[in-house]
Amino acid sequence: MRKIKRPRIPVTRGLKDIYAMDMHLAYQAACAGQFNVVAFGRLAAAISVVRSALDLKQTRLPLAIETLDAAIVTLLEVRHRGDQTDVWEITESERPAVLSGIDMAEECIGTLDVALLEGTAAMLLRDVCGEADENP
């Protein structure tokens, strides 16, 4: 029996723009002192989906995973601080790592396909919801 191969649907300019807007608008809000938990969530989700999709695809792009991991580590620190103090900000010293992650995510998204991004986003959402259900 032949395995049915799903067609690869390339990421369109519109989808790239949606990811770029989620990341850049949140980053700009942080730089303007208008960052909040919603903007943080959009930024963190976009970077995390691209990073996880690259990992699933076993990307060969040099430094992609490392750059995105550095941004995610920084965003985890931002989240911890925000959860503790209810002050959501990306400090000056944290901004280069986050901006590098945004740039790398934008560079890499074109190597992915729509089905992979959608599947990865759904998987991450299930993981997050599962963790929330386990820790009442």
pLDDT digits (tens, 9 = 90+) for 1-49: 676 776 778 788 888 999 999 999 999 999 999 999 999 999 999 999 9
Contacts made by residues 17-24, CB under 8 angstroms, sequence distance 24+: 19/46, 19/50, 19/105, 19/106, 19/109, 20/106, 22/46, 23/47, 23/102, 23/105, 23/106, 24/102
Task: Return the domain boundaries, the chain.
Answer: 13-128
- Single-letter amino acid, residue 98: V
State the pLDDT at residue 136: 44
**C-alpha to C-alpha distance for 88 and 90, rounded to whole angstroms:** 7
Pick the CATH number of 13-128 from 2.60.120, 3.30.565, 1.20.120, 1.10.287: 1.20.120
**C-alpha to C-alpha distance for 77 and 54, rounded to whole angstroms:** 23
Kindly state the average pLDDT of the residues 120-133: 82
Structure tokens at 22: 């989620």
**C-alpha to C-alpha distance for 60 and 99, rounded to whole angstroms:** 21
